[in-house]
Amino acid sequence: MIRYIASRLAIAVGLLLGLMTLSFGLVSLLPGDPAVALLGEYATPADIARIHGELGLDKPLWERYVEYIGRTISGDLGHSFFTGSSVSQELWTRLPNTLVYLVPGLILALLLGLAMGTFAAYRSGRLPDKTFTAGVSVLMAMPEFVLALLLLFVFYQQLHIAPAPLGMLSSSDIPPPKVTGSVVLDAVIAGKWKVFGSIFSRAVLPIVTMGLFFAAPFGKTVRTGLLQILHSPQIEFARACGLRPFQVYRYALSDVRAALMTYMVLLFAAALSGAAIVESVFSWPGIGGWSLDGVLKGDMPVIQGFVFVMGATSLLGYVVLDTLITLLDPRARAVAIRGRSSRSSLDTPSLDTPIPHQ
Amino acid sequence: MSLKVNDLVTEFATRRGVVEALHGISFEVGENEVVGIVGESGSGKSTVVRSVIRLLVPPGRVASGTVEFAGRPLLELRESELRAIRGKDIGFIAQNPFSALNPVLRLEKQFANIAKAHGVKADDGARRRAVDLLAATGVSDPERVIRGYAHELSGGMAQRVVIAMALYLNPRLVIADEPTTALDLTVQRQVLDTLRRLTVESGRSMLIVTHDLGVVNAYCQRVLVMYKGSIVEQGRVAEVFTAPQHPYTASLLSSASPPIEPAEAEVVPSQPLEVATWPSSK
C-alpha cells in the first residue's frame, strides 16, 4: 500500500513540475508588456528598458524559466509588479479567507444534493422527482452572482437577518493579534471565538450561495447513480434478503460514493478558480477578487502564482481522491497493492474450470 | 400449502401505455416440493418470482391477484411486514452472484447485516452458523472466504455464498431465479446438487426458474411451462414431459438438446468432489 501511495506522489510531483512550466509559459507568452501597463502608453523606451531591468524581463526566456522554477520550489512566488507585495504572502493570507466559506459551502451542497437526489430517485417519475428536475434546471441556469444577490435581497434587505455584505469583519470587531497574517487562522490561534463567530455569521450567505449553486450537480449525480443502482441485481438481492430500507440505501450509496467524491474535487477546483464572483458580491477579502485584479492589470507574478497554487491545489485534490477511491474499493485496492488481480488467491484450484481430459 | 398464487396480473407502465406482462397466473408450491418454471426468455418467468415477493420496481407493478404464503396474503402486507418475511421465511437466490453480492463489503459483514435486519444478534454464534453454512454449500476454507470479498471468488464459489445467504435464517421456501445460468456447465450440477441437498432434503420447498429442461427433469417434481406471460401447462414433470398437452411444451421439449428422455431420467447421485486431487489449471 505504501508503495502505491508513493507512486501516486511521484506522479503528483511530475505533474507539479509540468504545472509550473505551464503557468510560466502561458503567462510569459501572453501578449502585453507589463512595463507599458505600469508606465502608461506614453512611456519612453528608456523608461521601459529600466522597468524591464528591474523586473528581470530583459533576460532571455530560458533564464527566467530556470529562475522561476527555482524560486517556486523554494516557496517564493515573486512580488506583484504593481503593489510590490509578496505573492506567497498574499496567497497565504487570502486563501484561508476563501476556504472558510468555500469548504462549508461545498459540504452544504453535498448534503443538499444528497437529500434532493435521494428523494427524487426514490420518487422517480412522480411529482417530487419532476419538481427536483425543474429545480435543478433553474439552479443550473442561474449564475452564481444572481443567486448571491437574490439571497442578499431577501435576507439582508427584506428580512434584516443577514449582516451587510461588507467583508469578513465588522468595524466593531477587533482583529486578532497577527501571527500568520490570515485573520481566520489568527482568530483560531488566539482563541478569539467571538471574532471567529463574527466571521462565520458573515460567511453564512456566501456558504448558502455556494451550497445552493453546487447542490444541483451533486443532486443530479446522486439521482442518476441511485436510479441506476436501485434497479440493479445487487439492490434486488439486498431487498430479497430482507435488509432494512436504510441499509439498502447505504448499499446503494456506496456505489455512488466514488462519483460524488470525484464531483467534490472537480467542483472544489472550479469553485476556487471562480471565487472572484461571489467574493466581489460580498466584498470578501479572499483570493478571488485579488486574482481578478491581477489578471485585469496583467500582473504577471500574481497570475503565475494564482494559476500555480490553484493548479497545485486541484492536483493535490485529485491525487488524494484517486488514492482514496482506490483504497475504499476492495477490488481496486487488491489490484493496486499487489499490482495484479487478486483473483485466484482464494480460488480453489479449478472448481470453475472444466475438468482436464486425462 | 406453502405458497399459493392466484390469478396474478403484473403490468409495466411504458411510454406507449400499460403492457400486461403476466395474464393471470395461478400455481401452488406444496410443502417440501420443488417446482420449476420453464419458458423462453421474455416469457415472464422471472417476473413471476419478483411479483410473488414484491421485488418489482417501477414501472413494474402487480395489478391484481393474490399470493398466499403460510396463510399470509403477501400482496396485502405492509412493506415492513413483507420485509420481515423476505430473507427469513423466503430465501432468494439471484442469477448472477457477482452482481448480487455487495462488492465493497466483506462477506461476514453482509451475513451480519442480514441477521441484524431480522432482529438476530450478529454474535459469534451467528457468524459460526454462516461459516458452517458456507462449508455445507461446499465452499472450501469458509473461514477465509467469509473474511474476504465477493470478487476474490470464482463464480461457483460466489454462487454458493449467495445460496448460503439465502438459507442463512432457515427459510421454509427458497426462490431461485436461474441459479446456475451464470455458471460453467461443470459447476452447474454441483451447485444444483448442493441446492437440492440443502432445500428439499432439509424439508424446505423450492421454486426454481430455469430455461434448462434438464434441470427441471432432474430436480423438480412439478413444472410450470410459461409462454408469453401465461402458464400454458403445469403438472408433474414426468407427465408433462411424456405427454405434453400444449404445442408450445412439445416444441420446447423437442428443441432440447439432447432431447429429454421422459420417465425416469437418470439422476447422478450427488458426489462431493475431491478438489485437492484435481490438477491445477493455472
| Per-domain boundaries in chain A | 1-81+298-339, 96-295
**pLDDT given for residue B230 in this prediction:** 86
In this prediction, residue A171 carries a pLDDT of 66
* 8 Å CB contact of B55 and A348: no
Which chain A residue lies closest to B138 (C-alpha atoms)? Answer: A351
The per-residue pLDDT for range A201-224, each reduced to its tens digit, is 888 888 988 888 888 889 999 999
Containing H/E element for B255? helix B247-255
The pLDDT-based confidence of A353 (bands split at 50, 70, 90) is: very low
A37 Cβ contact partners less than 8 Å away, ≥ 6 residues apart: A81, A297, A298
Alpha helices, DSSP H only, in chain A? 2-29, 34-39, 45-55, 61-73, 87-122, 127-141, 144-152, 183-190, 193-230, 233-240, 245-273, 275-281, 287-297, 300-328, 330-338
List chain B residues with CB under 8 Å of A227.
Answer: none
Q: Do the strands B3-14 and B17-29 form a parallel or antiparallel pair, or are they unpaired?
A: antiparallel
Amino acid at A226: L
Give tens-digit pLDDT for A239-248: 999 899 899 9
Q: Determine contact: A357 vs chain B, CB below 8 A.
A: no
pLDDT, residue A108, reads: 94
Residues of chain A neighbouring B279 (CB-CB closer than 8 A): 349-350, 356
The answer to whether residue A127 neighbours chain B at the CB level (below 8 Å) is: no
Longest dimension (CA), chain B: 59
Which stretch of DSSP H or E encloses residue B144?
A: helix B142-147
Mean of all residue pLDDT scores within chain A:
81
Residues of B in contact with A230 (CB under 8 A): 57
Beta strand ranges found along chain B (DSSP E)? 3-14, 17-29, 34-38, 60-69, 72-73, 90-93, 173-177, 205-209, 222-227, 230-236
Element (H, E) at B46: helix B45-52
Q: In chain B, which residues have their Cβ closer than 8 Å to the Cβ of A329? A: 103-104
Set of chain A residues whose Cβ sits within 8 Å of the Cβ of B166: 240-241
In this complex, the residue of A237, A329, A347 whose CB is nearest that of residue B92 is A237
User: Is B178 within 8 Å of B95 (Cβ atoms)?
Assistant: yes
Question: Are A157 and A150 contacting, i.e. CB atoms less than 8 angstroms apart?
Answer: no
Kindly report, residue by residue over A175-199, the tens digit of the pLDDT. 777 777 677 777 777 777 777 778 8
Measured between CA atoms, how close is A120 to chain B, in angstroms? 14
Please state, in angstroms and rounded to a whole number, the distance separating the CA atoms of residues B150 and B148. 7
C-alpha distance from B270 to closest chain A C-alpha (Å): 15
Q: Exposed/middle/buried for B50, CB within 10 Å: 0-12, 13-18, 19+?
A: buried
Peptide bond into B258 cis (omega under 30): yes
Q: Grid cell 485573520 — which residue?
A: A183
Of the candidates B50, B152, B281, which has its C-beta nearest A342's C-beta? B152
pLDDT more than 70, % of chain A: 92
pLDDT tens, position by position, A54-81: 777 777 888 888 888 888 888 888 888 7
Q: Which three cell numbers stand for residue A171?
A: 468595524
Q: Contacts of residue B117 in chain A, CB cutoff 8 Å?
A: 241-244, 247
How many angstroms away from the CA of A103 is the closest CA of chain B? 28
Q: Which of A244, A343, A346 has its CB closest to that of B145?
A: A346
Q: Would you state the pLDDT for residue B184?
A: 78
Cβ–Cβ contact A246 with B under 8 A: no
pLDDT tens, position by position, for chain B (282 residues)? 588 999 989 998 888 888 888 888 899 998 888 999 988 888 888 889 999 999 888 888 888 888 999 888 988 889 889 999 998 999 999 888 899 999 889 999 999 999 999 988 888 888 999 998 898 888 888 999 999 898 888 888 898 899 999 989 889 999 999 888 877 777 888 888 888 888 877 888 999 998 888 888 888 889 998 888 888 888 888 888 888 888 888 888 887 766 565 555 455 555 554 554 555 444
What is the least distance, in Å, from the CA of A322 to any CA of chain B?
A: 17
Report residue B267: phi and psi, to 5°: -115, 115
Minimum distance, in Å, between the CA of residue A254 and any CA atom of chain B: 8
| A65 SS3 class | helix
Q: What are phi and psi of B96, to 5 degrees?
A: -115, 110
Nearest to B86 among A240, A251, A348 (CB): A240
Query: Which CATH code is given to the segment(s) A96-295?
Result: 1.10.3720.10
> If you compute the radius of gyration of chain A from its CA atoms, what whole number of angstroms results?
26
Query: Given CB atoms, is A249 within the 8 Å cutoff of chain B?
Result: no
Looking at residue A349, its pLDDT comes to 37
pTM: 0.78
Does the CA dihedral B38-B44-B50-B52 come out positive or negative? Answer: negative
* Residue among A126, A227, A241, A329 with most chain B CBs within 10 A, to mutate: A241
Of the residues A126, A232, A235, A348, the best mutation for testing chain B's interface (the one with the most B CB atoms within 10 Å of its CB) is: A348
pLDDT at B208: 92
Closest chain A CA to residue B82:
A242
- Cα separation, A29 vs A24, in Å, equals 8
How many CA atoms, within 13 angstroms, populate the side-chain half-sphere of residue A238? 27
Question: Residue A358's pLDDT is what?
Answer: 34
Instruction: Give Cβ neighbours of residue B39 (< 8 Å, ≥ 6 apart).
Output: B45, B211, B225, B226, B227, B252
User: Distance, in angstroms, between A104 CA and closest chain B CA?
Assistant: 29
Partner-chain contact B153 A347, CB within 8 Å: yes
Q: Please, are residues A83 and A302 in contact by the beta-carbon 8 Å criterion?
A: no
Q: Which residues of B touch A334 (CB under 8 A)?
A: 151-152
Cβ neighbour number for residue A136 with a 10 Å cutoff: 21
**CB environment A69-96: b (16+ within 10 A), e (fewer):** eeebeeebbbbbbbeeebbbebbbbbbb
Domains in chain B: ranges and CATH? 33-47+78-266 (3.40.50.300)
Distances (CA, A) of A171 to A73, A177, A184, A248: 39, 16, 16, 52
* Sheet arrangement for strand B72-73: B17-29, B3-14, B60-69, B72-73
Q: Is B184–A348 a contact, with Cβ atoms under 8 angstroms apart?
A: no
Residue A345 has pLDDT above 80, yes or no: no
Q: In the structure, what pLDDT confidence band is assigned to residue A357 with cuts at 50, 70 and 90?
A: very low
A261–B contact, CB cutoff 8 A = no
Give yes or no for A340 touching B (CB within 8 A): no
Instruction: Looking at the complex, report in whole angstroms how far the Cα of residue B223 sits from the nearest Cα belonging to chain A.
Output: 23
End-to-end CA distance of chain B: 49
Contact A226, A121 (CB under 8 A): yes
pLDDT digits (tens, 9 = 90+) for A96-115: 888 888 899 999 999 999 99
- Residues of chain B contacting A254 with CB distance shorter than 8 Å: 102, 104-105
Instruction: Give the tens place of pLDDT for each residue, A260-316.
Output: 888 888 888 888 877 888 888 888 888 888 888 888 887 888 888 888 888 888 888
Judging contacts by C-beta atoms under 8 Å, the chain B residues touching residue A129 are: none
What contacts B115, CB < 8 A, 6 or more positions away? B121, B122, B126, B168, B169
In this predicted structure, what is the pLDDT of residue B268? 53
